[in-house]
Amino acid sequence: MSLYAATVPQLASMLDNLDLWLTAASSYAEKKSFDPNTLLAARLAPDQYPLVRQVQAACDAAKFAAARLGGKQPPVHPDTETTMDELHTRVRAVVAYLRSFTEADFAGAKSVVVPLSFLPGKGMLGPDYLNQMALPNFYFHATTAYAILRHNGVDLGKRDYIRDMTLRDL
């Protein structure tokens, strides 16, 4: 599997799922008669990011992975979202950015060295960066956002998490 195939389609698909989870959260809030924006402050533990920051971090992890491997400048998002609508806009903007990449953009990704800002003077080769850092970080924040919503009563299940599957007849 190419680095493009392991990155762009999967990250975009999971962010599409995240967008649907936020829609489900708003529907749940409407059904229960509370402001859906109150969920943005929800968290699983006092020392973890709240939902709004989990969504922002998942978006950042996705756009930075694609940018660093695909050689494009990532969009700037100032992390100022305070409503579900603003989070939807953020997620959809990152999905559109991801879908702007092509397989050709990742031609040199296997040999690119991605610098690590938290370890000055250190970096990782593209495949190592993707598999050891970028994807685990993305899934950590996406899964935590999902768990926060589940913890707060939003009716989500595994099929909402793993939506798109390419099935074949046996």
Per-residue pLDDT reduced to its tens digit, 5-57? 999 999 999 999 999 999 999 999 999 999 999 999 999 999 999 999 999 99
CA distance 139 to 134: 9
Q: Rounded to two decimals, what is the model's pTM? A: 0.95
Exposure string for 77-86, b = 16+ CB within 10 A, e = fewer: eeeebeebee
| Arithmetic mean of pLDDT, 159-163 | 92
User: Which class would CATH give 3-161?
Assistant: mainly alpha
- Beta-bridged to residue 120, according to DSSP, are none
Give the model's pLDDT for residue 164. Answer: 83
Average pLDDT along the chain: 96
Give the model's pLDDT for residue 1. Answer: 85
Domain boundaries, the chain: 3-161
